[in-house]
Structure 1
């Protein structure tokens, strides 16, 4: 196809420098100062502030100063964490860029949408997000969704034949497409007239960039859980204060500072920050597996999915269509050699009975068939030199251009000989494409598409004996035979028109020229990925628009379906729909292969699976997939061949279009959720141990085992770094060998409750027993508190290390698999020991250096916790 020249690459680069990138200014990320101030906007921080004020009011200046120092240190740590997560998310977002097709130097190019410049000739197709304001030169059945600009919910038809006044309202400019709108139907070519802030969208950029982003549901759930825990702790502390009043012997100031210090040390105020870090780490790890997260919650949600609805082409297959067989209507077939856009030939095909048909006598028919495939085509293929080819467009269209080369046809010569009058672009609803051409004052309609569509349109077929009435039964048998072998079959037909007219209306009484069988090989890693899903309790279904026989053949190779498993077609779904939802659910329940499925039917399948209790992930690449992706629990867009609409509807994007990358993402999602569980267990168990320690001391009439300042210090040292470091824990292995968690499962579920009661309870009881023993041995109160505080720090160190896995022994986990935790644990211990030697700080904390034998004694007690943790894990391994 001959294209207008468009800009040269040099002109485009000059204009890019002149006008700048085609993008709107992004909302400015909050700076460090804003992030720092945000750390104080929490009910938990308000409690600390009250504690500081009370300390100063009752003359406890050192305690008040220490609480202020804790506030500042916590704020600093939170600021660093949030800033790092913010930078990571921003970097990943930049990896997901829009693309645009422009004509430069006379050839189509796919470029980054930010590189579009005024004067570019832009090509638009169904599913594209318009990258700039465009004055149309040519439009074919073009409809555009402009609701985000005009509020009009119905797609607007565009045309170059309509005269539009210069001052026409935005909604009436039918000859112009605007940046940010979406092509829902048709094709167009136009000149870019504005980019970036100069576009209509740019004029309202402030409003667009100010849209509020909703907080992920997981974070909302976690915050609700944190408040519930805080309420429970408040009740426990209130009961403890009441008990202290009943027992007597405690001053009002002691009880006040103890209550506040205990509350702050036990409330997991660091949990939201640790979870944000865990999700940000998950985003980064998924990016390494070619999974780009658009919505933070998708990190965890993908790990929860129980059912994946995958398309076929490019996800389960390599998306490199190659013509492999040509079958003429009278049954004569030929083999095509070569793969992809590499060299090859059309050769005689061995029929299996010792006979073969030479190419020569049928060369004219082969070239006629391939001429139709070349003219009913929107792609581009050109020699780039050094035995390489430059191509752009749909893979099926490109495969026909390659086939034309193998038959010795000149693509440019065909376009010069037959001038295109009208193009009927491919749309999934029509399942065909066509071209009306003029040749020596005669008009020809060339059509290619699904065999069912073209057989219904054709009345004749071209044979060696000439044009004869079509034998529908014989041709259908040929087609079904190819489809059952796993081929994608494209039929081609032609018609000479008595006069020029609308191409779509003329698609009748066609002459069938033959069929081309194409193969899109299964990705080598796809079968293993499907097996991994099944091992992890995840069902996989293939949903495609292909013929049922083709879909079933590929599903059998992938072990998605067995030889006798049914294939549900679009017709089956229509019949079930007429009977009611229960019939749709019965049809979908056990099916794993869906063929000849229409866009809205894909959404019906998803809804049926969700009604059955599945947490559904859906892959898609086109505008027709967007409804199902939006309806699903997790929408997955293809990064290479996905339309902008699909990417906008998706929660995450697969940059390499591989099904195995989706499975890797599921695994990483499970790792993230497991790490969230570990952090929750660590924080809640530590808080529970402190409350239990105080309850036991009050019940037995012992003095407070720790001062309020020591409680604050324990919270800072025991949890300040180790909880965040735990979020960096890598996968343990076997994440995909377990059933997915229930979507509605609460964070604080049975296993974590059990962990808190056993491990947190053990820490509290051991600390109480140690404190009582120290007093009985003659240690004064300050030294007993000093040693008890050291014990609690050691408990925190051992508990953090043991929390790396709920079932695996600490001795079977490589130490350096999580270097952050391996640094956080000794740092926490050394900071606490160092504080004993820092004048001023040691006075505030009321601690002093201890001997090695005393430290070793506390370590020996702490190792009891290690033994208990190991016994608890061993019990879980035995009971499953």
Structure 2
């Protein structure tokens, strides 16, 4: 078996029997041994990935900046006029900056790849006659695969069985309308992709129904693989935050260059040589303009996304890192997010009247079921799509949690679905869809066929004739008010004249009973809800459950308190023609029960129109519109469909609401760290401009040479901002209300901080330079001491930047040891440079005595005093 031979076969044009034969497989699937052989032969089921930038590409990317071009021009001019030492230093600065930037960007790139690798596409296949779940990369031609609505199709698959299947093939055909899919025999070989109704193609989505089929092609040999090169995205758009900062950098750059031009013209008029003015202007521009700000912010967000992954939150879109911290409302699913998603059938109410208790908990068949419930257990097992079986390592299950719960209940009664299907072969099946609210199975019983239904009580009750619908609904309401998730079961005769789609019109079914399932709340959900309340984040429960069940659980969690807090999907539908009342109802509601998928989208949009920044959770294919529309879409990693994950900004790997709250906290930390980095870079650049203008106005000599400014920019901010972006948070991130997402980074507080710190550093540095010259220092010694003072200022200022509100004395140093190490490193590098032959003469710096260092340190520490007073007054 070879790819070349398989790739020439038009799989839609051959019969199903020929497919089995050509792929040398059977309805028992491949053996594990054969699957491994084929994996070795065909390789992984993967498309070519966007090529990772090489280290050299990343390195050369560091030089793409107009300001870097200025420095390169300055270096070339230096060589032409004989100032080779200055040119070498400029080239050295460029190299060091490029190396630091390369390391940061390379690490961020690798971090993003490792996070993407955590999101796996899983698929159920038959191996050795048993259903198992594997990574889609392990698929091979000949595998027998099972797919359900919401699945991303992992390979080209020839259908063998299908139920109400429709696929979204817009990725391949451009046609937005979903296409019917069926297990048809051979169709015309010349059929276009959109007309191949017996095939599913890799990269498309099963938007409805259930399918079974044989994998025919994988990887590059799929229809998608043939156009994979056109589909690859090699360059991602920069996050909006980075784009805004890049725009800011350009704006402030224009102003700084304008200021430098004025400064330079004035210096020339004062008699300073054009060469000296040129070098100074270039260096001051580069030093004052935070051209590295977008890269620094991207690195900060990448670090935060890595921290989020450690707390079970995978970031698919970088803006969501800081965006989640701004959310004002989380619209959360109940099942599996607020609950543990291990449903257990605990109570049965039979049509004959008795109420029965079912013992045992979780997915263990230990427990007892009264024999009176045997018929209900049989119906629940047949109308079922899950698997529950005993294997060597214990009981294994997969499938919908409700279906698994019913199979566990049946196992307690001594029933096994596979054995039941042998005695009662299946003739048809109607899968559960959220719009229909029930599923149905047709099975052969002796000389007749029966249809078994399982679904919402309000849908099943009107179809039954052996008991009053009102009595069923009343009992369902009572059970739901006690916190049970309630489902109804029924059976009826079946003939070939009946149509599965017409089930909802029947009135002659036999009601079997109600099943009350309990899904315990996650213990950590209680604390997570409290944290949300403390953080000013509202929580809305959105569920398809009965309103009484939803209210009982919402009360326990503290989300809702009374019946008026609950709104049903039917009530929302009644208000469609009254938009004002509808908006008010959605705004005041805390629980949305029995909602339809499209209503979830309406809820999100209504909350957004009410000025909320909305994070919404989802796991199904029908949740995708709401996930895309929300400010932050959060998909479930364990139980979520591929479509939901693809539409989301974040993926929660443990499907736990508490992880979303952790993400909110990390998002706030990320945004705060972004502000800290901006504060550091902009304020220190501003101080250098202040220093030069004061010297210019007072007619003093140049305070620092061009190479000294470049050195200052290199050894301080070029290193320290990395340590600042590693801040772990101040500990009270969830004690403040959400920030307004429209609030600019340069708000009043940021402007005040930059102005105060920039003016203080610039004025004190100017006064020191003036004092040094007036007290016998020659210009070289004065500049050397001034440069040391500026390094000390920036060393101390980075600790001010650790918090915009808290005193730095309340920020333990050991919470960020890397920052402390980087500050010590910058001091050591600067002091050590004075003892390196060649470097000391290039920089025009002199060895630093302890007395000198101890004299300058108090001046630098004065900045801490000033900013502490500012914080105190602000508080």
Question: Equivalent residue of 1:428, what SS?
Answer: coil
Residue 483 of structure 2 is aligned to residue 445 of structure 1: no
1:459 matched to 2:465: yes
Contact 1:540 1:560 in 2 (8 A): yes
Conserved 8 A contact 1:443-1:499: no
Q: Deviations over 1:185-241 (max 9, x none)?
A: 111110111111111111111111246532211111110111122122223223333
**Mean alpha-carbon deviation: is it higher for 147-156 or for 803-812?**
803-812
Q: How does 1:493-512 map to 2 (within 5 A)?
A: 493-499=490-496, 501-507=498-504, 508=506, 509-512=508-511
In structure 1, the partner of 2:760 is 762
The residue aligned with 1:353 is: none
Task: Specify the alignment match of 2:793 in structure 1.
Answer: 795
**Could you tell me which residue of structure 2 aligns to residue 60 of structure 1?**
83
Number of the residue aligned with 2:666 = 668
Q: 2:386 aligns with which of 379, 392, 397?
A: 379
Separation in structure 1 between the aligned mates of residue 195 and residue 260 of structure 2, nearest angstrom: 67
Q: Is the 8 A contact 2:312 2:652 kept in 1?
A: yes
Q: Is the 8 A contact 2:51 2:234 kept in 1?
A: no
Note the C-alpha offset of 1:641: 0.3
Kept in 2, the 8 Å contact 1:568–1:595? The answer is yes
Pairs within 5 Å for 1:348-387: 359=370, 363-364=371-372, 366-385=373-392
Which residue does 1:126 correspond to in 2?
A: 149
Q: How far apart in 1 are the matches of 2:722 and 2:248?
A: 18
Once the two structures are TM-superposed, the CA of residue 867 in structure 1 deviates from its matched residue by: 1.8
Report how far residue 869 of structure 1 moved. Answer: 2.4
- Could you say which residue in structure 1 is the equivalent of 2:413? 407
Partner Cα separation in structure 2 for residue 589 and residue 395 of structure 1: 31
Q: Does the 8 A contact of 1:47 with 1:260 survive in 2?
A: yes
**Alignment partner, residue 540 of structure 1:** 539
Aligned residues of 2:315 and 2:321 also touching (Cα < 8 A): yes
Map 1:583-598 onto structure 2 (within 5 A): 583-598=581-596
Quote how far apart the aligned CAs of 1:7 are.
Answer: 1.4
Inter-partner Cα distance in structure 2 for 1:761 and 1:821: 25
Cα-to-partner distance string for 1:310-367 (whole Å, 9 max, x where unaligned)? 01000001000000100012442011111112234346xxxxxxxxxxx4xxx34x11
- Unaligned 5+ runs, structure 1: 348-358, 461-469
Tell me, in whole angstroms, the C-alpha distance in 1 between the residues paired with 2:416 and 2:290. Answer: 72
Match of 2:742 in 1: 744
Count of matched residue pairs: 848
**Larger CA deviation: 470-479 vs 285-294:** 470-479
Match of 1:256 among 278, 291, 297: 278
* Paired residues for 1:129-528 under 5 Å: 129-161=152-184, 163-210=186-233, 212-244=235-267, 248-346=270-368, 359=370, 363-364=371-372, 366-385=373-392, 388-460=394-466, 470-499=467-496, 501-507=498-504, 508=506, 509-528=508-527
Match of 2:575 in 1: 576
The alignment's C-alpha RMSD in Å is 1.5
Write the deviation string for residues 818-860 of structure 1: whole angstroms up to 9, x where unpaired. 2221111111111111111111111111111132211211112
Q: Mean alpha-carbon deviation: is it higher for 547-556 or for 562-571?
A: 562-571
> How far apart are 1:453 and its partner, in Å?
0.5
Shift of 1:412: 2.7
Is it true that 1:92 corresponds to 2:90 in the alignment? no
Residues 64-104 of structure 1: CA distance to partner in whole angstroms, max 9, x if unpaired?
A: 22112111111111111101110111111101110101122
Alpha-carbon deviations, 1:549-591, whole Å to 9, x = none?
Answer: 11111111111111244311111211221223x2321111111
Find the residue that maps to 2:175 and give its secondary structure: coil
Structure 1 position 456, deviation (Å): 2.0
**Structure 1 residues 176 and 383, CA gap change in structure 2 (3 angstroms):** same
- Counterpart of 1:819 in structure 2 is 817
Distance in 2, matches of 1:680 and 1:637, equals 32
Counterpart in the other structure of 1:530? 529
Counterpart of 1:53 in 2: which secondary structure? helix
Q: Distance in 1 between matches of 2:556 and 2:328?
A: 22
Q: Distance in 1 between matches of 2:565 and 2:789?
A: 64
Tell me what 2:4 maps to.
none
Greater Cα shift, 495-504 or 561-570? 495-504
Question: Which of 15, 18, 30 is the aligned partner of 1:7?
Answer: 30
Contact 1:92 1:293 in 2 (8 A): yes
- Corresponding residue SS for 2:680: helix
Q: Normalization by structure 1: what TM-score?
A: 0.94
Q: Tell me how far apart the structure 2 counterparts of residues 335 and 110 of structure 1 sit (CA, whole Å).
A: 33
Q: Match for 1:681 among 669, 675, 679?
A: 679
Match of 1:30 among 31, 39, 53: 53
**CA separation in 2, counterparts of 1:17 and 1:584?**
59
Distance 2:499 2:130 in 1: 28
Q: Distance in 1 between matches of 2:411 and 2:696?
A: 91
Instruction: Judge conservation of contact 1:92–1:292 (CA < 8 Å) in 2.
Output: yes
Alpha-carbon distance change, 76 to 271 in structure 1, aligned in 2, over 3 angstroms: same
8-17 vs 588-597, greater mean Cα deviation: 8-17
SS of 1:303's equivalent?
Answer: helix
Deviant stretches of 4+, over 4 Å:
none
Contact 1:331 1:478 in 2 (8 A): no
In structure 1, C-alpha distance between the alignment counterparts of 2:864 and 2:501, rounded to whole Å: 76
Q: Structure 1 CA distance, aligned partners of 2:130 and 2:27?
A: 8
* 8 Å CA contact retained: 2:264, 2:277: yes
Query: Structure 2: how far apart are the matches of 1:599 and 1:497?
Result: 31
Give the Cα–Cα distance (whole angstroms) in 2 for the partners of residues 719 and 210 of structure 1: 33
Q: Is the 8 A contact 1:435 1:503 kept in 2?
A: no
Cross-structure match for 2:560: 561
Q: Secondary structure at the match of 1:326?
A: strand
| 1:243 Cα offset (Å) | 4.2
Give the Cα separation in 2 of the matches to 1:218 and 1:722: 21
- SS of the counterpart of 1:153? coil
| Superposition TM-score, scaled by structure 2 size | 0.95
Shift of 1:394: 0.9
CA offsets, 1:292-323, max 9 Å, x none?
A: 11111111111111111101000001000000
Distance 1:159 1:237, change over 3 A: same
**Equivalent residue for 1:465?**
none
- Residue in structure 1 matched with residue 728 of structure 2 by the alignment: 730
Kindly state the Cα deviation for residue 498 of structure 1 after the two structures are TM-superposed.
4.2
Give yes or no for contact 1:334–1:346 (8 Å, CA) kept in 2.
no
Contact 1:533 1:540 survives alignment (8 Å): yes
Q: Distance in 2 between matches of 1:161 and 1:842?
A: 82
> Structure 2 CA distance, aligned partners of 1:344 and 1:789?
76
Deviation of 1:699 (Å): 1.3
Counterpart CA distance in 1 for 2:503 and 2:602 is 33
Q: Secondary structure at the match of 1:427?
A: coil
Q: Do 2:365 and 2:409's aligned partners in 1 also have CA atoms closer than 8 Å?
A: no
Cα drift, residue 504 of structure 1? 2.8
Q: Secondary structure at the match of 2:472?
A: helix
Give SS of 1:103's match: strand
How far 1:875 sits from its partner (Å)? 2.5
Evaluate the alpha carbon distance shift between residue 98 and residue 437 of structure 1 in structure 2; reply closer, same or farther with a 3 A threshold. same
